Structure 1
Amino acid sequence: MTLMIFFLMFITESATEKLCPLRASIDVLEGEYFFLCYLESMQEHFQEEAYTINWYKENAGKQQLIKETDRIVSQMNFLEFWPAELSDSGNYSVTHSNGKQNFTVQKWTLNVLERNKSSCFNKNHLTTEIKNAGTGHSLKCSDLSVNENDSITWYKDCKNYENETERELDFKTLTVQHSGIYTCKILISHEGKIYHSTNTIKLVVEEDAPEAGALEIVGHNEEIETEIGKEEILNCTGFLGYYMREDASLYWLINQKFPEKCTGIPENEPSICEEELKKLKLGNKFYVTTLLRIKKVTDEDMHRNFTCMLQADERTQIKIVKLKKGNTRDLPVHIFTTGMVLAVLFPCVAVAVVFVCVMFRVDLVLFYRNICRRDDTAGDGKEYDAFVSYLKDCISPTEEEREFALKILPMILEENFGYKLCIFERDVSPGGAVVDDIHSFIDKSRRLIIILSQNYVSDQAIYELESGLHKALVERKTKIILIEYMPISDYNVLPESLSLLPSKRVVKWKKEKSLPVNSRFWKNLRYLMPAKPTKINTKGHYNNLHVGSEGAEPRTEGCDFNVVV
């Protein structure tokens, strides 16, 4: 008899473990059957004293005991909703009590999403699966129902799909035509009534990689505004397709003549030189890129044609770049002219001025922006000043990095200097298509701030990095700011294309030394951010911030808040 009880408990626990994955945040649609549940090890059945189970929901900051109704039912380690309503959203917890002590077993945040009245699914309540054409694949229905006799119906783009009624939708060979939004609907019978739950999957089937026809230079002929005496770096990038072509060559011509090669030694560099060719892989796409460095732009350079040539498979693509005089961005022309006159008349004063300009360049530019109320954000169609990318996994040994990204950075940049940041964990509703959301929000941002640490390259952070590099190096739409939060001992784990970013775009965090609002760290960061008029408040938020101290806010349980049921 004891063995039989043990066997039944083992089966029950196995089923519960399948239905109760560890998750901190859960999304569910209104009007659908749903339940919360927690895992209970078999040792508790044999070793602990008798206990009672209580379910709680947070109300006005206090834990309120959930009373059973016809709609909300508690059965041991399950809390069932027949069905879930919008008012059920909130923070839930479950406790064990042996009459002497209460033990909190698990906590959840439940988000009940409003149903789309004009569609069979909610776009914020789906998962995305990207597959290659020609492969086999299966779409799996929700595990909310364990009764094999429950009725199951599949829909594609809200239309009944081939009368499929199985729990798994099998595709032996995927084609592009299989792309679409698939919804699985399960009908569940309870006390004479029929309820349902749905699971929606967006299937994206990509075609096989195109062949040689994809060869092209990224971008078109262009004119770049510059100034006499200014350093310019011309970038030319060629797209090779979905495999690396060994015979591809990319090079610059200046009025049909080859430029000299850069030596890597600043004092020996020619006035115009070409960097070594670099090969890049961004996602599943291959590129080659080369830089043409102009140490100081001259009037003669304004009349030259800088031509980039891409050759492969006996085909040639060209891109012509011309320089033209433009308006000074940060310092007006009369200030530069006045400085030159003073340098000629008063050599000693000139030396002092040059020294001050070099040492306090950042302070001068920030002062100029503040006085002239410059605004680089007006009319550019962007929604955010910066998208913040940081380590989101559980592999970080301390809470310092998360606190820096979620608390210190927005507190200083948003509250003190008026910038608007996009922080995925804070600003993006959970449950969406993560890859699509990241790409969309980087597109809406003027800068990509990467908080770089030893463990950065992991999980979705690597996609944020690759998307940002693609937009900075290829599309030239987004500028990247690297914050070296912790010293990096091995740069080999990072993408090679990071080496193409200017070193002046790296800002180093020095813990307590960098905390004050008027520290060099925040000045350098603001210098790299777009100019934006704001009333600066430098009165003390940082005095209450102690990175990694006992006063820091506790971390929310769990690491990945983007789980979709």
Structure 2
Amino acid sequence: MGDVHGWIWREGILSEGTGLTCPAVCRGTVYNRTSSMHRGELLLIICVLTAKSTSGRNCISRHHVSVVEGEPFYLKYCSSSAAPGREAATPKWYKHDPLHGHAELHPDASARVTLHHDILEFWPVELEDQGSYYCQLGNDTQEWKVNVVKRDKQSCFTEKQVQSRHVRVTKSLQIACNNSHYKEWIHRTVLYKNCTKIAEENNRFYLMPILKNAEFEDRGYYSCVFFLRHNGKPYNITKTFNIVIAEDHSNIIPIILGPKLTSVEVELGQDVDLNCSALLIEEDLLYWNFQKENGAEPNVHEDNRSSSWTLEGKPYASKILRIQKINENNLNFLYNCAVAYPGSKDIKSFVLLRKGMADIPRHVFTGGMTVATVLSVAVLSLGVVCIIYRVDVVLCYRRWVGSDETLADGKMYDAFVSYLRERGPGSGEEYTFAVETLPTALEGHFGYKLCIFERDVEPGGAAVDDLHSLIQKSRRLIILLSKSYLSHQVRYELESGLHAALVERKIKIILIQFAPVGDVPLLPQSLKLLKSHRVLTWKAEESLSYNSRFWKNLLYLMPAKASKADRDLSEVLPVLAEVY
């Protein structure tokens, strides 16, 4: 048969499923396949005969048994007494029926389920055979709970029936296939690794065991498949092992993670879990020591099981100590967690301390945060409202405080009105607005004083000097912009006003559009760049009312001035109106 994938084949036998091996006389001597076959076969015969003489040990003592459907299966009674004459007694077999209770099984009841004294055989076992079985021999009764697993037809083995074996790397690894109970019917035995055949024996119920030092390449699923024939029908039995090759941690020194002393602040009446984690191997012991002189507190319990994991190839484990409804007796006491290994141990201590009063009571902190949040939202909302309704807010503020920017500034007029003074085709609306509408509103209703050239300049005066002087005496320059605005009569007053506004910064400009800025020819670039909020548009029908947005925006741009007309207007102006 030779070596397969580096395996070393030696003669020997392992009994099925029970971990029993051939007697020491057989195990003590192993031979290579290349040694004398006669001598090896002689030892093999001795082992087989010895195994047969001890076949009584092949009884099924496990209370819960799992088996795959479609495979031969048996239950064998395990005697619990050595009373004389027991071997001559006839055992009785029963199956538990939920409807009818215990139903006795008879030898001639079925060709598939057979009885042979203390052995119950299934050829093969089916899903309907699942349940509880009893064997009664005198006053002794043995029970089995049989679980029949559905076969996985997509794989060479059924995953639910896989047994795991952990072997550390470089340690001895042994794989053996043996089934002595069915040796009379087995005619071929095959070993698979991950469903690939790696060894085969004909006319034998076993394979030579595989002995080698474990390597990481050895990990995988190994399936022993026994092919047999009974009453002319073929069957097979599969046993699968998952070989897990683990790191060799023999050189690891166990140590508990974290500081040697950990203080835990607690409140009386609460539950707390103390978690102790350590680097350790399977042979090391991780435990809690919480005993006092008069015994352990009744509310302190250690978990029975520890949780384990692997990180970066190193094994770790943790164990929890649970303390329920903490009382005074649990405070200021050292709860010690220890990991013990040959020759030494490592200890970590936990101490429970009563939690001190917080600097700020919880309800005060919560209330303060709520108030701060509400105030922040209120301030933010107020800021948004002030931005959206800034014009109305400013006008209300002026009326309430009675502010006046015109006192002691030495100027005579609140605004100089620059407009096209020659009435022509298409310019009648602008002219009427300049000499009638604007003075009526600003002077008659809002209390301002305007400078209008045709009205306030004496005929025959020096026009250039008068214009410059009037602009210097005005606080605002109102420009009524139309397509024909830049005629030679108003060019000088525009240039003079722009110089005073942009260079001397003695006057502010208010632009009222009757035509878009882009439609006016030869308009200075500085006027085109005027801030948008200082540019108003006259809309005849919408702007006629003194309560319209046009007049509010114009009042906002005019200097603050306390006057009776302005105060009286507060009765008709609304407090808030959205900016368009």
- Could you tell me the TM-score, scaled by structure 1's length? 0.38
- Could you tell me the TM-score, scaled by structure 2's length? 0.37
Higher Rg of the two aligned structures: 2
